[in-house]
Every structure is written in C-alpha cells, then in structure tokens.
Amino acid sequence: MHHRKLATIEDVAAIAGVSIATVSRAINEPRKVADETRRRVTDAIARTGYTTNAMARSLRMRRANMILILAPDVGDPNFSNILVGLEIAASTRGYGVLIGNTQNDPEREADYLKFISSNQADGLILFTGHLPFGLADADPSVRLPPMVAVNEPVLNHDVPFVGVDNFEGARIAAEHLVSQGHQRIAFIGRSPARRINALREEGYRAALAQAGLSVDERLILPGDGTTESGRQATEHMFVRDVLPSAFLCVNDATALGVFMALNNRGYVLPRQFSVMGFDDIAFASFVTPALTTMKQPRRKIGEEAMNMLLTLLEGEPPRQREVFLRSELIVRNSVSRFTEK
Amino acid sequence: MHHRKLATIEDVAAIAGVSIATVSRAINEPRKVADETRRRVTDAIARTGYTTNAMARSLRMRRANMILILAPDVGDPNFSNILVGLEIAASTRGYGVLIGNTQNDPEREADYLKFISSNQADGLILFTGHLPFGLADADPSVRLPPMVAVNEPVLNHDVPFVGVDNFEGARIAAEHLVSQGHQRIAFIGRSPARRINALREEGYRAALAQAGLSVDERLILPGDGTTESGRQATEHMFVRDVLPSAFLCVNDATALGVFMALNNRGYVLPRQFSVMGFDDIAFASFVTPALTTMKQPRRKIGEEAMNMLLTLLEGEPPRQREVFLRSELIVRNSVSRFTEK
DNA sequence: TTGAAAGCGCTAACAC
DNA sequence: GTGTTAGCGCTTTCAA
C-alpha cells in the first residue's frame, strides 16, 4: 500500500476495460454509469486498492475540502472541546481540519493565511477574536475568505459567530446568587476592552437591577481572566476592606484565584464566602469546594460553527450571522445560602 | 486577494518578463538565478500577491508537506501540549498539521488513513497506542507509512516512539516519598495490560527495592487511570483496613480520586496521608493541597516526535528509535514528612 | 452511456 | 542562466 507505486485512475481504467472518464464518473456520479460498467469499475478499484489522489482532484476542482483553524493556543482547555466539535462536524461532511497555532503572533497568522491563498484550505475558523494579520489591513474591496468566528467574536468586522450567550449566562449566574440570598455580590474580572468580559459584566448588572439591588462599584474589580488576576482582586478587596458575601467571577480560572486568596486568609468556603465561576472547565468539579459555574456547550459550539462555515462554503447564505447557545447552570458546592452574621 | 482570480506562476512570469521555469527557480533555488532576474521576479510576486498553489506543487512533487495526527481525543488535557509541540516543530519546518480525532473508532481510523493513501499527508503521528485499523492487519510485506508514536508506544510493532521515561519517573517519585520517611507506600493504578501503568509500577517497585523496603502486595491496587478508579481503590483500602502512609498514584487523575475519598472520610492532607501523582496536568497546582507530582515535558515530547518524523521523511534513518525524556519532580504540598503517630 | 482530450499550476529534465 | 516542455492524476466539456 505504501511505497509500492500507488494505483492511479489509469490502472483502474485499464483493468476495468473502460476510459478514465468513466472511472471518474463511476466514483463521483455513479448514476450516470451503466450498472454493469459500474460493477466492473468497483471491482477494479477493490483489486487495486485505488484511492483518488486528493492533490490532483483539488488542483482540478479548485478546492481542497480542508478547513483551517486558527487559534492562539490549541492547548487551551477552553478550546479543546470546541476543537473536537469542529473536527467531528468537518469529518462528517468529508472535510479535513488543519490546525494553526498562532500564539497571537502576527507573523504566524500571516503564514497560516497562505494555506488559504495557496488553495490548501477552503475556509477559516477563528478562535482569535481578530482577523488574522494580513487580512485585517487588506484593502476593503477585497473579499474575505469564508470564515466563522468561535469563542470570541471578531472586533469591528462582520464575521459570522457562534458562541455562548455571555450576557444571558452571567445574568443567570448572578440571579442564582441573588436567589441564595446574596445582596453584596462582587464581580471579578472587569475588562471593558474584552468583549466577553464586558458582556458578562452587563449580565451581572442586569440581574442585580432586575432584583432591585443597587450596584456597589467598589465591588467590581478589574481582571483579565487569569487565576492571578482573581487572586489579586480578592486581596485588593481585603486591603480596602470592602467585602461582598459572594464573588461572581468572569471565568473559572479567575474563581480559582479567588479560592486561593480566600484559603490563604483562612476562610472556609462556602461557609464564609460564596464563589461562582463561568465556563465549567475540567477541574471545576475537582476543586474543594466543587465550583458552581455556568457550563459552556463547547462541543456543540464547534459543531454549529463548522456546519455554518461549510454551508457558507457551499454557496448558501447562513440562516443567521450570529448564533448564541445557552450556557447551563451547574450547581456544585461553592455557593451557600447567605445568612446574616 | 480572494475571489479575484488568484495569480499564477504565469502571471508572475509575464510581468517579470521571464519564463515560468525561472520564476519557479527564483522561488525554490534562488541562487541559481541571476541577481537582476531574481529582483524582477520578486517584484512581480509582490505586485501580484502571488502564492504558490500548494495543490499543483504537491501533485508534481508527490508530497504534501502535511502530517496527520491521529488521536483518540484531541480534547484530552494530556494531549494538548504535546499537540502544541508537534504543531510548532512542524510549522517551523514548513509542514502543516492535520488532526484526526478517532475516538478509537476503527472506521474513523481507516477513514483517516486515506489522507495518507491519497497523498494528502506524508506521515503520521500516533497518539493511539496501536496501529490504525487498516494498517494493523495489512499484509506484512507492505511498507508502513512513515510514523512516530507519542504518549503511548505501539504494541507489537516497531514504531519509533517519543515519550516520557515512565519507569524512571515513577522511581524518582517513589524515592521522593521514601526520602520523606514513608515506608508503607501504596501504588494506585495497577494495570499490567497498559504499558504506561506497568512501567510506572515497575519504577515504584525498583525504588522500594533500592531502599531495602519490601513490597506489601496488598498496597498495590488496580486502576485504569481515571479519577473514579482512584476513589474506589482508596475506599477499598479502608474497607480492608490495610492502609499506607503515602499513596503513589499512576497519574494525577487517579490522585484526585484519592483526594476525594480521603476528604470524604474527613482526613486532612497532607497531615494524615501523603499523595503523589504523575503527569502534572493543569489543575495539579490548583487542588488543595497542591499536588506533588512528576511533570511530563509535553511540549518537548511533541517537538522531538515531529522532528523525528520529519527526519524520517527526509530519508535519514532516525538516530534512535525510542526517545525517553525525563520527567521532573514537582514538589508542592500534598506530601509531608512521615512521623510515627 | 461512453471516450478523447484539454487543462488545473507546478517542477525538473533537458537543451541552449 | 534561462527557456521549452513533459507530465503529476484528476474532472469535465464535447462529440460520438
């Protein structure tokens, strides 16, 4: 099968006693070939172990049946299941998936774009939240390649998007805290420049407003979504001595930082403080206390995004340019009922 | 740049006033072209935004500069950084990386093999621990495609392998426990059929032997590496009332199960029991107490494996067929000095 | 329903 | 140093 010269369409044609055009048809449009002929071709294919040479076909057809995925870090646990969903949907529809780990390096982004301009990939899935370098600054008359953003919407460009409804998710999370009697709820992870953080903050504000609670701006702390930022924010609150009864964190990583700071100061969770995260990353259920959080339907996001892209590629306009999937409240043990001390 | 018919080598040649052969040479073997000519070609390329059509090139060259990665689950946190390493090494050497999520489904494995037989990929990285279905049973006279196994060696086949030295790592781990005064050390995760588990168990035994400690077989419990198996094994020990002072777990996931069982029973770690893991997965540093473990050089594994494969592909025999990288002892807080009660 | 033949864009042998 | 040309393996008119 390998290194013994591969069978070509000519070999098959010779064995079947037909022309290569007929072999091609038998493979791609079987109904246009007489039953008997088709049988002979099928046999010949089996006998030779023939597989269509994808390069020749792609060259001729001008498409590669390949999708390029651009992500700043394929190893990011937040990405991995989206990746799985993308891969499954792609392979189901006969497409392959190429990965491009950009590390947010403009040069690597531009490099990977060559897969598109060299016809090696037909479309693009973007995890990066921005157009890849080389496209961002391109003259606007130039048509962008077919692409769909995932995880983070693309700033300032009308790129179709599939992701979680961050506003609604955060609203539900804050509502959960309110339903447990909390009135002083901190939001950890303010960062207006980050779309996700901004939306989650808005959801938080909406829930408080809806509950008739006023927002204490001193309980809203900046953070970039890292564990360290959660730790620092918490420390900061103690230094200023403005404390909540519950922490709503912009994501699970941040919540972990809050956990660490609180543990460090000797508090027992969730007795003395409640903490909520967002994302439901792998270890959320393994920390102590297990983290109450909002679960992202990651695999589903990947599948939807890929299906949207392939639909786009096949020439149909997508039914909607933005799809927001619902996140799910996962109640574990890091939130307790608030009781006045 | 897109959908405005792509520039071809002929367009460049016309603009530069040379033949297409010269353009090709200017790109691939610049030194064979006169300075002045090369300059004109470079200019023309810039003016047209030309990119070599990868399909045409691959068809002609009979190689795709593409590597297929077969993994049962791309989302596995144990894989992700290896994946990053693979990707980095590949792109550094001008190769693309195709992912195949097989879910251990023979059908999907066979499907993905078509990327090889259809010339879309030149080589294979195997995470699966076995030859893909369709190769495993192939007649042995058939040459296998170039491949390198990673993470888990391939059973019964002489496939080059890059991974961590499991025996040595476990030996160092057990030695660490011994150095902290532990004498009754359990091994959680016995599973002779799994190469990794078996090697780690051997390392454990070697360390005890070296320390002059006898092995109490009742302290060696079966497990498949899941969190649940760790929990169960621990429960089992309590039921039989044969207890160690320290648990050496076959991996971090198992250690987590041990944590849960111990927490459940109200023990305080590491005061009452010490626990060690293996792998250093993402959350190892975030559990309480932070897990002492052996860190796998995952990214390095990926890089080495890819480099080995590309070397193979370029016709050179690999310097060694098996590369074992050292794992690193990461001391955190889950192990304490043993003091007689 | 089938076949002949053009041509996708490129590299490499060969000739100059 | 450079140009001409064959041909990689396929799909797709066009004609029979």
A337 part of a folded domain? no
Judgement on whether residues A227 and A283 belong to the same structural domain of the protein = yes
Say if residues A250 and A197 touch (Cβ distance below 8 Å): yes
**CATH code where residue A268 lies:** 3.40.50.2300
**Which of A185, A150, A139 has the alpha carbon at shortest distance from A338?**
A185
Say if residues B250 and B187 touch (Cβ distance below 8 Å): yes
B36 touches strand D (CB under 7 A): yes
Residue B1 pLDDT > 80, yes or no?
no
CA dihedral B240, B241, B246, B252 (to 10 degrees): 40
Judgement on whether residues A272 and A321 belong to the same structural domain of the protein = no
Residue A229 pLDDT > 90, yes or no?
yes
Return the percentage of chain A with pLDDT > 70, whole number. 96
List pLDDT tens digits, range B195-250: 899 999 999 999 999 999 999 999 999 999 999 999 999 999 999 999 999 999 99
Q: Cβ of A96 and B120 within 8 Å?
A: yes
Q: State how far the Cα of A139 lies from the Cα of B49, in Å rounded to an integer.
A: 13
Q: Is A101 on the interface with B (CB under 8 A)?
A: yes
The reported pLDDT for the residue numbered B156 is 83
Q: Higher pLDDT residue, A143 or A279?
A: A279
B143 part of a folded domain? yes
Judgement on whether residues A30 and A94 belong to the same structural domain of the protein = no
* Stretch B282-305: mean pLDDT: 92
- For A289, B259, B261, the CA distances from B232, given in Å and listed in that order, are 20, 11, 8
Question: Could you say which of A73, A80, A145 has the minimum Cβ distance to residue B75?
Answer: A80
Judgement on whether residues A129 and A72 belong to the same structural domain of the protein = yes
Residue A187 — φ and ψ, nearest 5°? -115, 120
- DSSP structural state of residue B86: H
Residue A256 pLDDT > 80, yes or no?
yes
The reported pLDDT for the residue numbered A285 is 86
Please tell me whether residue B179 adopts helix, strand or coil conformation: helix
Q: Is A11 on the interface with B (CB under 8 A)?
A: no
Q: What is the CA radius of gyration of chain A?
A: 26
HSE-up (13 A, CA, CB side) for residue B227 = 14
A137 part of a folded domain? yes
Q: Cβ of B142 and A2 within 8 Å?
A: yes
Judgement on whether residues A280 and A317 belong to the same structural domain of the protein = no
Mutation to test the A interface, candidates B4, B81, B117, B122, most A Cβ within 10 Å: B117
- Distant-in-sequence contacts of B107-113, Cβ < 8 A, 24+ apart: B107/B133, B108/A91, B109/B70, B109/B133, B109/B134, B110/B134, B111/A91, B112/B68, B112/B70
Judgement on whether residues B198 and B160 belong to the same structural domain of the protein = no
Using the CB atoms, write b or e for B274-284: b if 16+ within 10 Å. bbbbbbbbbbb
B172 part of a folded domain? yes
In this structure, of A139-153, A264-278, B143-157, B325-339, the range with the lowest mean pLDDT score is A139-153
Nucleotide lying nearest to B20, CA to C1' measure:
D3
Q: State how far the Cα of A235 lies from the Cα of A229, in Å rounded to an integer.
A: 10
| A138 confidence band (pLDDT: 50, 70, 90) | low
Residue A118 — φ and ψ, nearest 5°? -100, 10
| A226 confidence band (pLDDT: 50, 70, 90) | very high
The reported pLDDT for the residue numbered A3 is 47
- Distant-in-sequence contacts of A191-199, Cβ < 8 A, 24+ apart: A191/A222, A191/A223, A191/A224, A191/A225, A191/A250, A194/A224, A194/A225, A195/A129, A195/A152, A195/A153, A195/A155, A196/A152, A196/A166, A196/A225, A196/A250, A197/A223, A197/A225, A197/A250, A199/A166, A199/A167, A199/A170
Q: State how far the Cα of A293 lies from the Cα of A285, in Å rounded to an integer.
A: 9
Please tell me whether residue A172 adopts helix, strand or coil conformation: helix
A248 part of a folded domain? yes
**Which of B196, B172, B178 has the alpha carbon at shortest distance from B326?**
B172
Q: What is the CA radius of gyration of chain B?
A: 26
Q: State how far the Cα of B340 lies from the Cα of A69, in Å rounded to an integer.
A: 56
Q: Is A6 on the interface with B (CB under 8 A)?
A: yes
H or E element in which residue A170 lies: helix A166-179
Which pair of structure tokens corresponds to residue A57?
A: 């076909």
A-chain CB neighbours of B296 within 8 Å are none
Distance in Å from C16's C1' to B13's CA comes to 20
Distance in Å from D10's C1' to A307's CA comes to 28
Residue A310 pLDDT > 80, yes or no?
yes
- Distant-in-sequence contacts of A159-163, Cβ < 8 A, 24+ apart: A159/A126, A159/A131, A160/A308, A160/A309, A160/A312, A160/A318, A160/A321, A160/A322, A161/A321, A161/A322, A161/A323, A162/A301, A162/A304, A162/A305, A162/A308, A162/A322, A162/A323, A162/A325, A163/A301, A163/A323, A163/A324, A163/A325
**CATH code where residue A30 lies:** 1.10.260.40
**Which of B303, B284, B304 has the alpha carbon at shortest distance from B84?**
B303
Q: State how far the Cα of A79 lies from the Cα of B79, in Å rounded to an integer.
A: 13
Judgement on whether residues A154 and A82 belong to the same structural domain of the protein = yes
Q: State how far the Cα of B254 lies from the Cα of B83, in Å rounded to an integer.
A: 23
Q: Give the closest residue to C7 (Cα–C1′).
A: A60
List pLDDT tens digits, range A271-299: 999 999 999 988 898 888 899 999 999 99
Residue partners of A109: CB distance under 8 A and separation at least 6: A70, A100, A102, A128, A132, A133, A134
List pLDDT tens digits, range B28-45: 999 999 999 999 999 999
The reported pLDDT for the residue numbered B228 is 93
Cα B237 to chain center, whole Å?
33
The reported pLDDT for the residue numbered B144 is 85
B68 touches strand D (CB under 7 A): no
A332 part of a folded domain? no
Judgement on whether residues B225 and B190 belong to the same structural domain of the protein = yes
- Give the number of residues written for chain A: 341
Judgement on whether residues A108 and A152 belong to the same structural domain of the protein = yes
Q: Is A227 on the interface with B (CB under 8 A)?
A: yes
* Stretch A102-131: mean pLDDT: 93
The reported pLDDT for the residue numbered B2 is 44
Residue partners of A313: CB distance under 8 A and separation at least 6: A122, A123, A146
Judgement on whether residues A175 and A288 belong to the same structural domain of the protein = yes
Q: State how far the Cα of B268 lies from the Cα of B263, in Å rounded to an integer.
A: 7
B31 part of a folded domain? yes
Sign of CA dihedral B30, B33, B38, B42: negative
Block residue for tokens 């599948």: A303
B115 part of a folded domain? yes
Judgement on whether residues A160 and A170 belong to the same structural domain of the protein = no
* CB-count exposure of residue A158 (10 Å: 0-12, 13-18, 19+): exposed
**Which of A77, A76, A80, A134 has the alpha carbon at shortest distance from A105?**
A134
- How far apart are the CA of B215 and the nearest CA of chain A, in angstroms? 31
Mutation to test the A interface, candidates B63, B86, B118, most A Cβ within 10 Å: B118
Question: Could you say which of B97, B116, B119 has the minimum Cβ distance to residue A55?
Answer: B119
- For B87, B146, B308, the CA distances from B316, given in Å and listed in that order, are 21, 11, 10
Judgement on whether residues A119 and A90 belong to the same structural domain of the protein = yes
Average pLDDT score over chain A: 93
Q: State how far the Cα of A309 lies from the Cα of B222, in Å rounded to an integer.
A: 46
**Residues 45-84 on chain B lying near strand C, CB distance under 7 A:** 50, 52-53, 56-57, 59-61
Q: Is B144 on the interface with A (CB under 8 A)?
A: yes
Which pair of structure tokens corresponds to residue A214?
A: 């006023």
Q: How many domains does chain B have?
A: 3
Which residue range is the domain that position A237 belongs to? 166-296
Q: Higher pLDDT residue, A120 or B4?
A: A120
Q: State how far the Cα of A199 lies from the Cα of A228, in Å rounded to an integer.
A: 21
Inter-helix orientation angle B9-16/B35-48, to 10°: 130
